[in-house]
Amino acid sequence: MGSSEERVVAVIMVGGPTKGTRFRPLSLNVPKPLFPLAGQPMVHHPISACRNIPNLVQIYLIGFYEEREFALYVSSISHELRVPVRYLREDKPHGSAGGLYSFRDHIMEESPSHIVLLNCDVCCSFPLEAMLGAHKSYGGIGTILVIKVSAESASQFGELVADLETKELLHYTEKPETFVSNLINCGVYIFTPEIFSAIEDVFKQRKERANLRRVSSFEALLSATKALPADFVRLDQDILSPLAGKKQLYTFETLDFWEQIKTPGMSLRCSGLYLSQYRHTSPQLLASGDGTKKATITGDVYIHPSAKVHPSAKIGPNVSISANARIGAGVRLISCIILDDVEIMENAVVIHSIVGWKSTIGKWSRVQGEGDYNAKLGITILGEAVDVEDEVVVINSVVLPNKTLTVSVQEEIIL
Ligand SMILES: Nc1nc2c(ncn2[C@@H]2O[C@H](COP(=O)(O)OP(=O)(O)O[C@H]3O[C@H](CO)[C@@H](O)[C@H](O)[C@@H]3O)[C@@H](O)[C@H]2O)c(=O)[nH]1
């Protein structure tokens, strides 16, 4: 346990609507952070990991979505965790560090000794307690969760070099064009409140540079057209890169699972990862399939208590079924997310797919993807209220909301 002066605040950066474009058509209905993975909103997973942090006093979600979109979730989760959770809305995007900075007064009101900062679109086991312990032993202003990935995929992330012994962050480059390292930034951090001074320094330096540039008005014009808004500060490029090698930032490597959730395909993969994590953290959430009146369950499956599943259906592995869904006789579901109020009729098959709210899949139909989570059409996605008629086959396709499919399609985007 931590000492009595310790007070920890967790901040989850949820971004806003313009950031969710790669997540279409699913983000047309629900803010990406609230899209269900393993039956719980995406942001619920980091929030429930915060439960393990000793002396946690408050959780903030910072974003530029409308406040009403988060109101219901925030009040129910505060009640459930018995830790206050608040949504703080930016009037416009300020960047991952600028967004944090714009609410520094709110955060500092809690007199935190540590700030746990989390990207909402990452899926991992969030080893926050161990990170906090490591951070205290390093003694810098921040500790970054890092993981080794393949050299081919590293360039999608912040690549970094750390001292093998001291774990100090020696070098940091955000999404570099040429390979630096296969050790990458997981988007999970522990900071001391000094992080606010580091962000403030960026503002100061920008002001000084702008003053210098005023000497030449042509140069000023040139740089103004290229520059980000003055109050937009990115945690990675503007803070982590310049602080590397100054004995201020340290790294903590996870050997557990980690993925980034930018696309619907990755949400299906991450739903599976969280389902398998439930085996250790929340086994009561996994469907058992025991009993004569229950469907056959294989592998990790979540079924919302209000969903109705016919006992002759066969479900799993990696299936998550949301509220009020109805799954008919003889249905086979493998690796899929079935959202609220979906109806799947007799003997239909759904594999490597996401079926949107209120959609219906007719008898003997087949909705299937090849299961390449990173490919553009690697899984099939049906938007809200899509009707797939009886005996229709939909393969590796994306269907926008409110469409009716009367004929079979393959590798198509139906607008
Ligand atoms: N509130 C708010 N949140 C923001 C803003 N901009 C980004 N975010 C949130 O901040 C997080 C980081 O988003 P980006 O800045 O777009 O970076 P990224 O492409 O996701 O990459 C970052 O995360 C990777 C790990 O997933 C890292 O590997 C990479 O280095 C980088 O830090 C996300 O959770 C996003 O929703 C903003 O203006 N305001």
ipTM, two decimals, is 0.99
Confidence of residue 98 (pLDDT cuts 50, 70, 90): very high
How many Cα neighbours within 13 Å face the side chain of 98?
19
Residue 223, pLDDT > 60, answer no
Average pLDDT, the chain: 93
Answer for the pair 367, 384: CB distance below 8 angstroms, yes or no: no
What are the residues whose beta carbons fall under 8 Å from the beta carbon of 329, sequence distance 6 or more? 310, 312, 313, 346, 347
Q: pTM of the full predicted structure?
A: 0.94
Residues found in the chain:
415
State the Cα–Cα distance between residues 297 and 208, nearest whole angstrom. 63
Q: Position 253: which residue type? A: E
Q: Looking at ligand 1, which residue's alpha carbon is closest to its atom 30?
A: 158
Pocket around ligand 1: residues whose beta carbon is below 6 Å from it?
A: 13-15, 19, 62-64, 90, 93-96, 99, 119-122, 157-158, 174, 184-187, 234, 236, 260
State the pLDDT at residue 221: 57
- Cα R_g (the chain), whole angstroms: 23
How far apart are the CA of 235 and the centre of ligand 1, in A?
8
Atom of ligand 1 nearest to the CA of 122: 26
State the pLDDT at residue 413: 96
Structure confidence by residue, pLDDT tens digits, 172-197: 999 999 999 999 999 999 999 999 99
Structure confidence by residue, pLDDT tens digits, 293-343: 789 999 999 999 999 999 999 999 999 999 999 999 999 999 999 999 999
